[in-house]
């Protein structure tokens, strides 16, 4: 039993369960080099003390001795009296860092099985929390009847949830980058609160309480959406990141459209309250899995944890990490500027960011508008049952398969060749957006005007919609990441806010728009066409940026 526990602790160190056991002094996570570093540091201190007693002239003539860094590596001395700041830090015996490229604690050096487990957990976390946005929609009619409210008020439960996970990253994204917090603790704490508040949603007695709880749970679900891709990037080597981010994105798209099917099953079997009981049990089961098998993936936090253990083992508080020391200098004003002001500053001052944010926001808002249009089409025209209506969303899942295949083909057949020819630029990603942008207006016109022909045609429109939106997201985020490397967090935070704003607003006016623009036999034709015309105009953006993007980036003070 002891051997099993020791093996688990060694393999899944830095998980929440091991953290708790470690704090209770029930287990000890070994840092085998720590004691050696301590003794070497002691020797170094005595050497420095002896040197301080020498004459300055003699000390200048003597070369620096060989010293051991905190990671156990040995570094040779300099022949000059004064070295650069970086050189001094490199031989600082109290600076804690990874033990070279093969350090087993570095996420890139984890076993394949451990990486697979972590990636699956991130995808499950994203799916469960993202599913919460639309899982309630099959019960909206019952909610409206029970609380005696209209359609717009009932739709607030969807809109507020989406708004919540748009605002949440403004807080959680900066926190996840701090060495003392990392990603794992944020995932665990917010998922626990998310699961517990589902009990409140299931037992709530008024519509105001339900809307407020939905907004709070939307905020709590945002860490997986804000930093899920970053967690995958932590453990996967750079050249493989686009492949695994694409896989993660499939879950992010498929989760909201799977939610209505599960929600409909609960409504038919019990009532709308069981939707939230189901979500509670799903998130609780996932929480248990993460507590035991989800380690910290952020490099800075892993090193900080190592530093804390070394301090505890040696009793010496002089050990430190570079990132934690730099963060200690930050003021509340510095953090507020990065988290609250800079995302909006970049949107206002950067035409590239503004244009792509608007394009992405329209796509995102249209995606959530489908949750208003589908009942009108499939229930109103084709007389689908509640379960059949949930199945109607599966066209989006099928579209993900085709969209991901197109993305991989682009990366391997075009992107890789551009790299080999040394012609790869940020605008290379826009070629993908240029190739699929026509699918968005096609899907909207097809969905609107084929709604009275046969039910397979609107579902075919779902496939074209995902082919465009999925790859547009991949191309846009990659383009922005390469164009604004120093301000990536702020750029993505601003994009998330704008997406959430559109996705929050569109469902609120969606039904009224479709009803007012409906014509006989075509209930969503002109409403969908209106969005289609906007998408045609916005499709010019990737072509424009492909030609003028380099010039605009050269004039920007935010590009790296």
- In the prediction, which pLDDT does 31 show? 65
- CATH 1.20.1250.20 in the chain is located at 1-28+101-330, 339-559
Q: What is the pLDDT of residues 248-305, one digit of tens each?
A: 888 888 888 889 999 999 999 999 999 999 999 999 999 999 999 999 998 888 999 9
pLDDT at 439 over 90: yes
Instruction: Using a pLDDT cut of 70, give the percent of the chain over it.
Output: 88
Tell me if 242 sits within 8 A of 408, measured CB to CB. Answer: no
Residue that has been written with the tokens 């946005």 in this structure: 133
Q: Phi first, then psi: give them for residue 441, nearest 5 degrees.
A: -60, -35
pLDDT at 41 over 80: no
Tell me if 448 sits within 8 A of 525, measured CB to CB. Answer: yes
**Residue 76 CB partners (closer than 8 Å, separation 6+):** 66
Residue 188 CA to residue 429 CA, distance in Å, equals 34
- In the prediction, which pLDDT does 73 show? 35
Spacing of C-alpha 25 from chain mean position: 33
Neighbours of 451 (CB within 10 A): 25
pTM for the full model?
0.84
Instruction: Using a pLDDT cut of 90, give the percent of the chain over it.
Output: 46
**Residue 450 CB partners (closer than 8 Å, separation 6+):** 457, 458, 461
Angle at 156 between CA 348 and CA 375, to 5 degrees: 110
Q: Which of 194, 158, 226 is nearest to 375 (CA)?
A: 158
pLDDT at 56 over 50: no
Fold of 1-28+101-330: Growth Hormone; Chain: A; (1.20.1250)
Q: Which of 527, 533, 531 is nearest to 514 (CA)?
A: 527
Mean pLDDT over each residue of the chain, to the nearest integer: 84
Q: Phi first, then psi: give them for residue 452, nearest 5 degrees.
A: -105, 5
Residue 114 CA to residue 292 CA, distance in Å, equals 12
- E runs forming strands in 232-360: none
Q: What is the pLDDT of residues 230-242, one digit of tens each?
A: 888 889 887 788 8
Three-state SS across 104-162?
CCCHHHCCHHHHHHHHHHHHHHHHHHHHCCCCCHHHHHHHHHHHCCCHHHHHHHHHHHH
- In the prediction, which pLDDT does 407 show? 92
* pLDDT confidence band for 358 (50 / 70 / 90): very high
Tell me if 259 sits within 8 A of 282, measured CB to CB. Answer: no
Residue 499 CA to residue 162 CA, distance in Å, equals 9
- In the prediction, which pLDDT does 65 show? 36
pLDDT at 125 over 60: yes
* Terminal CA-CA length for the chain: 53
Q: On the CB side of 17, how many CA atoms lie within 13 Å of its CA?
A: 14
Residue 140 CA to residue 143 CA, distance in Å, equals 5
Enumerate the β-bridge partners of residue 75: 67
- E runs forming strands in 247-306: none
* pLDDT confidence band for 364 (50 / 70 / 90): very high
Residue 161 CA to residue 72 CA, distance in Å, equals 49
Q: Is 522 helix (H, G, I), strand (E, B) or coil?
A: strand
Domain spanning 339-559, CATH class: mainly alpha
Query: What value does the mean pLDDT take over residues 72-96?
Result: 50
**Residue 524 CB partners (closer than 8 Å, separation 6+):** 373, 376, 377, 447, 448, 451, 514, 518
Rg over CA atoms, the chain? 27
Structure tokens at 282: 């799903």
pLDDT at 470 over 90: yes
pLDDT at 527 over 60: yes
């Amino acid at each position: 039993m002891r051997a099993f526990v020791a093996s688990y602790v060694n393999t899944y160190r830095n998980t929440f369960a091991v953290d708790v056991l470690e704090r209770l002094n029930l287990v000890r996570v070994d840092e085998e080099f720590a004691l050696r570093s301590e003794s070497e540091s002691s020797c170094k201190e005595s050497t420095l003390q002896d040197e301080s007693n020498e004459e300055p002239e003699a000390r200048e003539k003597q070369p620096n001795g060989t010293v051991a860094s905190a990671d156990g590596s040995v570094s040779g001395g300099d022949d000059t009296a004064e070295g650069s700041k970086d050189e001094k830090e490199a031989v600082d015996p109290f600076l804690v860092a990874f033990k070279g490229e093969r350090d087993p604690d570095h996420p890139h050096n984890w076993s394949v099985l451990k990486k697979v487990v972590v990636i699956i957990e991130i995808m499950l976390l994203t799916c469960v929390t993202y599913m919460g946005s639309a899982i309630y929609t099959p019960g909206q009619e019952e909610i409206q009847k029970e609380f005696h409210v209209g359609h717009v008020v009932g739709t607030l439960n969807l809109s507020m949830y989406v708004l919540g996970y748009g605002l949440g990253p403004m807080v959680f994204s900066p926190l996840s980058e701090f060495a003392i917090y990392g990603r794992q603790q944020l995932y665990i704490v917010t998922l626990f609160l998310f699961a517990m508040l589902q009990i409140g949603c299931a037992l709530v007695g008024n519509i105001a309480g339900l809307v407020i709880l939905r907004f709070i749970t939307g905020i709590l679900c945002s860490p997986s959406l804000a930093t899920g891709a970053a967690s995958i990037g932590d453990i996967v080597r750079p050249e493989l990141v686009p492949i695994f981010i694409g896989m993660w994105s499939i879950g992010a798209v498929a989760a909201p459209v799977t939610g209505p099917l599960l929600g409909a099953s609960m409504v038919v079997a019990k009532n709308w309250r069981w939707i939230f009981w189901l979500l509670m049990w799903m998130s609780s089961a996932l929480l248990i899995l993460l507590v035991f098998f989800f380690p910290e993936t952020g490099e800075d936090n892993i090193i900080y944890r190592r530093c804390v253990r070394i301090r505890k083992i040696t009793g010496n508080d002089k050990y430190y990490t570079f990132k934690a020391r730099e963060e200690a200098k930050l003021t509340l004003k510095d953090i507020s500027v990065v988290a609250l002001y800079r995302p909006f500053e970049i949107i206002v001052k950067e035409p590239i960011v503004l244009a792509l944010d608007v394009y992405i926001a329209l796509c995102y808002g249209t995606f959530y508008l489908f949750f208003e249009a589908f009942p009108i089409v499939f229930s109103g025209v084709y007389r689908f049952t509640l379960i059949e209506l949930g199945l109607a969303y599966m066209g989006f899942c099928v579209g993900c398969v085709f969209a991901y295949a197109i993305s991989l083909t682009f990366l391997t057949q075009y992107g890789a060749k551009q790299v080999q020819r040394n012609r790869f630029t940020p605008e290379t990603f826009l070629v993908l957006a240029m190739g699929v942008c026509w699918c968005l207006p096609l899907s909207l016109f097809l969905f609107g005007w084929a709604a009275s022909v046969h039910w397979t045609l609107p579902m075919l429109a779902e496939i074209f919609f995902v082919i465009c939106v999925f790859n547009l997201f991949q191309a846009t985020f990659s383009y922005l990441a390469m164009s604004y490397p120093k301000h990536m967090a702020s750029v993505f935070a601003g994009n998330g806010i704008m997406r959430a704003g559109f996705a929050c607003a569109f469902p609120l006016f969606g039904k009224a728009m479709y009803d007012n623009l409906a014509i006989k036999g075509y209930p969503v034709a002109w409403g969908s066409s209106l969005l289609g015309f906007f998408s045609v105009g916005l499709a010019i953006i990737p072509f424009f940026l492909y030609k003028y993007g380099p010039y605009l980036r050269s004039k920007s003070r935010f590009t790296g």
